[in-house]
Amino acid sequence: MLEGFCTKLQRHHAAITGAVLVITCLIPFCVTSTYVLRICVVAQMNIILVLSLNMMTGLLGQMSFGHAAFFGIGAYTAAILSTKLNMPAQVTFPAAMVVAGLFGILLGLPTLKLKGYYFVIVTMVFCEIMRIVELNWMEVTRGPLGIMTIPKPGFFGLRISTQREFYFLALALVILTVIVIRNIMNSRIGYAILAVRDDEVAAESMGINIFRYKILVFAVASCFAGLAGALYAQYTGYIDPTSFTNNKSNELLVMVIFGGLGNLVGSFIGAITLSVIPELLRGLATYRQLIYGIILVVLMMVKPDGLLGAVNFKYLGQRDKLKPLKDGGKKRGAIWWKKS
Amino acid sequence: MLLQQIINGLTIGSTYALVSIGFTMVFGVLELTNFANSSLYMLGAYFTLMLYNATGHHFFVALLMSIILTGIAGYCLDRFALRRLRRKNAPKLAGLITTLGMSMIFDNGIMLIFGSESKSFPNQIDLGRFYIGNAIVSWTQVIIMVVAFSLMAILSIIVYGTKLGKAMRSTSQNVEAARLMGININSVIAFTFIISGILACISGTMVGMYYQTVDVNMGTMIGMKTFAAAILGGVGVLPGAVIGGLIIGIIETIAAGYISTGYRDAIAFTILIIVLLFKPTGLFGQKQINKV
Amino acid sequence: MKRSFLTMGMAAVVMASLITGCGAQKPDTGNNSAEISEEKTEVKSEGGEETIQADENQTDDMGKNKLAFFLPLTGDLMQYGLSLQKGAQLAMDQYNEENGTNYIVEFNDDKGDPTESVNVANKIIADETVIAGLGSFNSSCAMAAAPVFEENKLLLLSPTASHTDFPTMGDYIFSCVISQKYEGAMFAEELMERYGDDKKAAIIYQNTDFGVQATELFAKRWEELGGEIVANEAFVPGTTKDFSPIISKIKTQEPDMLYISANYSDAAQIFLQARNLELDALFVGPATCLNEEFIELVGSQIDGTIILSTNPCFMPSVLENAELDANTEAFVKSYEETFDEVPDGFAAQSFDAVNIMMQCIEKVGTDSTALRDEIAALRGFEGVSGYDMQFNESKEMIKGVYVFEMKDGNFYRIN
């Protein structure tokens, strides 16, 4: 049933993407409540994080438990640059990406050679190290006091200050993330990455430099986490180390797995659902972590791959195209199906 | 002061060692990073405290019942969550996520029932202290260390000396082959989880007595340290877990005493990463990992 | 084509339901004051039921007879809200009884949610009969509502908002809680006066915003007064319960005094471990220790420890042992009679807030500006949530310091 539905989705994916995009653009004009818009911005920020983490864990197959560290590095970079040096957003956002990416490479170089579970622990430990540094390095991060009154971002003099403007900024960043990741995955590099995930030994014997691709993916994923961090810092105007703990990392990983490992559409679903549900369940805030736990366990029992983890849109699209024509010879799908 | 700090470090290290033995054992048999291990440890401490009050302050009765209960909790973890995954042939990752979910359920369940405050815990083995030079050592510290080493010894005997241990080792090497040899995989794994539950309960109770308090976060607090200890020693190697725990404890103490108290954990973890650079399988892990 | 429309339609429906789903959750989150007064009638009636009203309200020359209190009466913070409510009600009833007046306190539920508190604030400022606002329980709610009051020149006095920036948010904004800025310095003065010979202090504090601020000012004042800080160590709360490395390190410095700023369970651990490592110093703990749980953790093992606080302690065991001043004794007694339970610190704070307000109203009437000046000039108020209470030049609350000593596993006030 799910597969049939997904086949339909794939068949009309251009139309659906267009429709969703139009609706997304209309939301801030239909909804005036700043509260709802705030949730939307946070959800979009989570989408960026989850997409980048999914690239790391789902497409490359390296389980990272420390994604919040890069999120935090980006946030602190942007916050420090904009408060201490009064840098505009066209500097702070790329700087946050670069710094987070560099840290990604720095961590990746020694650790990506480690076996899977060693890597899991090391990323987790790295997240904790970063939190401790953020807490203790008073001169730079102001430790637990956090950095306050971070200015709202301005791109080349264009100030982003209302909720609606932030909404579109976040939307633009999400689209940027999707385009970059999609293009990487649809290129030669993408196939190499998938080969590394499926079987390292086989990939290596085909002449793929495993290590180089791992570093590449790790760097790109950290970059986008840093980007989300910059958005977060300049959007909320206040950051402190409590936002970048292992709990945040786990939460992101839960979103990835909920949507389905290796499935970018799933990442959207995971990020949006799990950003909105806690708001709806605000009254149940004390049970939130418990509910998360139960969701995880039940999901693993019912669908170990996540909601859309077992769905391969590319494959479904190709199969659909090659299916013998039915329904009285009416040609279908061919218009919408161009590339996958 | 150095001597005192080393004694402090050995004590903290022993508490890590106690918990990481259970972790490394499950890892050895299943190649599963068991996030719920530190939750079982917290659960064990709470069971003991609860039963201690319920039985009218009979400590050993409470401890015994608590060991049984935590063992059952360990069994349930496997029976109701992980076994289904094995039957479905789900990826290893699914198991890891399941234990993460279970640990969230345990931690938050206990928090909702008992609240998040620290609870006072009775110290039944307070035998005073003695001096080595200027350094002060309490008997509780000695007992904790002795317990850690004896548990390691007992487990080593079980794993390397009994028929059951042989079954565990063969399961860890190749599940299919072991099944063909007539080993009941499910009971072997269930047994491993029961043992890890028992270990967690003993260590939780010991640590609770040492600090005279238990709280809901004691598991998450120690969780990452026990992973680090097991990794440092080489996962799956029982003596490695103990040595790894002691080393992490000593590094942490020295870091706190001589460098910076704020950065103590960061320094310990950084050293872990550096060690892995040079020995990617940990200190005692062989290239061909010598699993349980 | 048909199918594609169908799918698109479905997608649209899903999106739409998602949006309205969000919308339905919080229908009135905007800071839009016009629509709010209608939306919130429900809250008002709730408040009305809980207000124990005498006969027809007596009004003064301006027609104002009401203090509007917004506080969490539902949700996670409900228990605190209820304490505040009882304290305020008691204060008002007593005042009316003594003076034969008919002022009332109206209670509004803000659910502990900043958005909600803005809505309630807008409702309050729209009410002509309100003299001044009181509330809210948590700083975030109070701070969200403060601009509304400031803009409309209505006095807002929060009994519990402790954020240091709160009183600086406007001329009409006051808090009954002592600012953390002053607490540290006052503790240093008190300790120096009392234990002036113990000049070498070692500090262990938790690395949180509270811990950093509190100890920074303590250390500064302590050194100004001629004291010496031999060690100043931070720890990251929630990562460990073992403080023996820090204590061993401190021990080599041979301090006379160990000053802790942490929550009660960490403080208990530090004290116990310091005793086990035979650190010979005067232990000084923070106000967070003044609770039953702390006593349960440490028992009588650390007798002689000094606990400093700017708030009195309402633990039953402490109340039994302490010699209370007349004010406090009367408050505890009447509170127990009325509500059949022992008051807590929050009840005392809201009791004081109402009394401060009424004292000022009695003097200068109900004009907001006059009231503001009168409150800012408050000096030496003998309340039940502190003594020698006053507002300083920047209209922040200052209180006297209570010193408790631990004896036989209990706190005894010694000043």
User: Are residues B223 and C238 in contact, defined by beta-carbon separation less than 8 angstroms?
Assistant: no
Any C CB within 8 A of A240 CB: yes
CB contact under 8 A, A34 and C29: yes
User: Are residues A69 and A53 in contact, defined by beta-carbon separation less than 8 angstroms?
Assistant: no
User: Are residues A218 and A104 in contact, defined by beta-carbon separation less than 8 angstroms?
Assistant: yes
Domain that holds residue A159: 39-244
Name the CA dihedral angle for A99, A105, A106, A108, rounded to a multiple of 10 degrees.
Answer: 140
DSSP characters for A9-29? HHHTHHHHHHHHHHHHHHHHH
Touching partners of A (3+ C-beta pairs < 8 Å): B, C
Any B CB within 8 A of C296 CB: yes
Any B CB within 8 A of A136 CB: yes
* Percent over 90 (pLDDT), chain A: 18
- Residues of chain C short of pLDDT 50, as ranges, are 1-60
Phi and psi torsions of A309, nearest 5°: -60, -35
User: Are residues C186 and C198 in contact, defined by beta-carbon separation less than 8 angstroms?
Assistant: no
The whole-angstrom distance between B35's CA and the closest CA on chain A is: 11
Q: For A34-44, what is each residue's pLDDT tens digit? A: 778 888 888 99
Touching partners of C (3+ C-beta pairs < 8 Å): A, B
Any C CB within 8 A of A133 CB: no
User: Taking the CB of residue C256, how many other CB atoms lie within 10 A of it?
Assistant: 17
Q: How far apart are CA B116 and CA C184, in angstroms?
A: 28
pLDDT of the residue at A53: 92
pLDDT of the residue at C62: 57
Q: Is residue A319 part of a domain?
A: no
Average pLDDT for residues A263-271, to the nearest whole number? Answer: 87
Token pair 């290893």: residue: B92
Q: What residue type is B115 in one-letter code?
A: G
Write out the two tokens for A330.
């009416």
Alpha helix ranges (H) inside chain B: 2-30, 37-54, 59-76, 83-88, 92-114, 139-161, 163-173, 175-180, 185-211, 218-233, 238-254, 264-278
Q: Is residue A133 part of a domain?
A: yes
User: Are residues B138 and B128 in contact, defined by beta-carbon separation less than 8 angstroms?
Assistant: yes
**Closest of C166, C63, C153 to residue C114, by C-alpha:** C166
Instruction: Report the chain B residue with the minimal C-alpha distance to residue C240.
Output: B221
pLDDT of the residue at A282: 62
CB contact under 8 A, B262 and A250: no
Q: Residue A125, class by beta-carbon neighbours within 10 Å (0-12 exposed, 13-18 middle, 19+ buried)?
A: buried
CB contact under 8 A, C249 and B257: yes
Any A CB within 8 A of C263 CB: no
The whole-angstrom distance between B20's CA and the closest CA on chain A is: 14
The whole-angstrom distance between C3's CA and the closest CA on chain B is: 35
Q: How far apart are CA A273 and CA A263, in angstroms?
A: 15
The secondary element (H helix, E strand) that includes residue B189 is: helix B185-211
Any C CB within 8 A of B221 CB: yes
**Closest of B7, B16, B11, B38 to residue B244, by C-alpha:** B16
Higher pLDDT, A307 or B8: B8
| β-pair partners for C285 | C307
Domains of chain C from N-terminus onward? 34-178+325-398 (3.40.50.2300), 181-309 (3.40.50.2300)
| β-pair partners for C158 | C175
Q: Is residue A190 part of a domain?
A: yes
Mean residue pLDDT across chain A = 83
pLDDT of the residue at A227: 93
Q: How far apart are CA B157 and CA A301, in angstroms?
A: 35
For residue A9, pLDDT beyond 80: no
Q: Are strands C130-135 and C173-175 parallel, antiparallel or unpaired?
A: unpaired
Q: Are strands A158-159 and A154-155 parallel, antiparallel or unpaired?
A: antiparallel
**Which residues, other chains included, contact C178 with Cβ-Cβ below 8 Å and sequence gap of 6+?**
C310, C386, C396, C397, C398, C399
CA distance from start to end of chain B: 38
**Which residues, other chains included, contact B113 with Cβ-Cβ below 8 Å and sequence gap of 6+?**
none
CB contact under 8 A, C22 and A279: yes
Instruction: Out of C7, C19, C25, name the one closest to residue A31 (CB).
Output: C19
Any C CB within 8 A of B12 CB: yes
Q: Hey, is C206 helix, strand or coil? A: strand
Using a CB-CB distance cutoff of 8 angstroms, which residues of chain B are in contact with residue C276? 129, 136, 138
Q: Is residue A172 part of a domain?
A: yes
Instruction: Out of B98, B112, B266, name the one closest to residue A286 (CB).
Output: B112
Any B CB within 8 A of C297 CB: yes
| Total residue length of chain A | 340
Mean residue pLDDT across chain B = 86
For residue A340, pLDDT beyond 70: no
Instruction: Report the chain A residue with the minimal C-alpha distance to residue C2.
Output: A332
Average pLDDT for residues A19-26, to the nearest whole number? Answer: 84
User: Are residues B45 and B248 in contact, defined by beta-carbon separation less than 8 angstroms?
Assistant: no
List the single best residue of B27, B98, B114, B272 to mutate versus A (max A Cβ within 10 A).
B98
Q: How far apart are CA C73 and CA C46, in angstroms?
A: 10
Task: HSE, CB side, 13 Å, CA atoms: give it for residue C253.
Answer: 22
Any B CB within 8 A of A87 CB: no
Q: Hey, is B66 helix, strand or coil? A: helix
Sequence ranges of the domains in chain B: 2-278
| Total residue length of chain C | 415
Using a CB-CB distance cutoff of 8 angstroms, which residues of chain A are in contact with residue B93? 63, 261
Q: Is residue A151 part of a domain?
A: yes
**Which residues, other chains included, contact C367 with Cβ-Cβ below 8 Å and sequence gap of 6+?**
C62
Using a CB-CB distance cutoff of 8 angstroms, which residues of chain A are in contact with residue C75? 283
CB contact under 8 A, C19 and A27: yes
Write the DSSP symbol of residue C381. B
CB contact under 8 A, B262 and A135: yes
What top-level class would CATH report for the domain B2-278? mainly alpha
Using a CB-CB distance cutoff of 8 angstroms, which residues of chain C are in contact with residue B4? 248, 277
The 3-state secondary structure of A94-141, one letter per residue: HHHHHHHHHHHHHHHHHHCCCCHHHHHHHHHHHHHHHHHHHHHCHHHH
CB contact under 8 A, A300 and B224: no
Q: ∠C287-C307-C79 over CA atoms, to 5°?
A: 30
Instruction: Out of B117, B136, B257, name the one closest to residue C245 (CB).
Output: B257
The 3-state secondary structure of A34-87, one letter per residue: HHHHHHHHHHHHHHHHHHHHHHHHHHCCCCCCCHHHHHHHHHHHHHHHHHHCCC
**Closest of C237, C238, C242, C217 to residue C229, by C-alpha:** C217
Instruction: Out of A128, A129, A294, name the one closest to residue B105 (CB).
Output: A294
Q: Residue C72, class by beta-carbon neighbours within 10 Å (0-12 exposed, 13-18 middle, 19+ buried)?
A: buried
Interface of C with A in 193-212 (CB under 8 A): 207-209, 211-212
pLDDT of the residue at A76: 93
pLDDT of the residue at C293: 81
**Closest of C365, A162, A12, A294 to residue B104, by C-alpha:** A294
Q: Is residue A224 part of a domain?
A: yes
Any A CB within 8 A of C236 CB: yes
pLDDT of the residue at A70: 94
Write out the two tokens for B91.
């990826």
Using a CB-CB distance cutoff of 8 angstroms, which residues of chain B are in contact with residue C252? 1
Under the banding of pLDDT at 50, 70 and 90, the label for residue A96 is: very high
For residue A222, is the peptide bond before it cis, meaning its omega torsion is within 30 degrees of 0? Answer: no
Q: ∠C326-C331-C336 over CA atoms, to 5°?
A: 130
CB contact under 8 A, B33 and A300: no
Interface of A with B in 301-320 (CB under 8 A): 301, 304-305
Write out the two tokens for A250.
């786990």
Write out the two tokens for A191.
């196939």
User: Are residues B159 and B195 in contact, defined by beta-carbon separation less than 8 angstroms?
Assistant: no
Any B CB within 8 A of A289 CB: yes
Q: Hey, is B124 helix, strand or coil? A: coil
The 3-state secondary structure of C309-334, one letter per residue: ECCCCCCHHHHHHCCCCHHHHHHHHH
pLDDT of the residue at C242: 86
Q: How far apart are CA A175 and CA B117, in angstroms?
A: 45
**Closest of C151, C183, C185 to residue C170, by C-alpha:** C151
Q: For B114-145, what is each residue's pLDDT tens digit? A: 877 788 888 777 777 888 877 888 888 888 88
CB contact under 8 A, A132 and B97: no
- For chain A, how big is the Rg over CA atoms in Å? 21
Average pLDDT for residues B68-75, to the nearest whole number? Answer: 92
Q: How far apart are CA A113 and CA B281, in angstroms?
A: 11
Instruction: Report the chain B residue with the minimal C-alpha distance to residue C301.
Output: B212
* Percent over 70 (pLDDT), chain B: 98
Under the banding of pLDDT at 50, 70 and 90, the label for residue B246 is: very high
Instruction: Out of C12, C75, C212, name the one closest to residue A19 (CB).
Output: C12
Domain count, chain A: 1
The 3-state secondary structure of C48-90, one letter per residue: HHHCCCCCCCCCCCCCCCEEEEEECCCCCCHHHHHHHHHHHHH
Using a CB-CB distance cutoff of 8 angstroms, which residues of chain C are in contact with residue A237? none
CB contact under 8 A, C207 and A143: yes
Higher pLDDT, B178 or C60: B178
For residue A283, pLDDT beyond 80: no
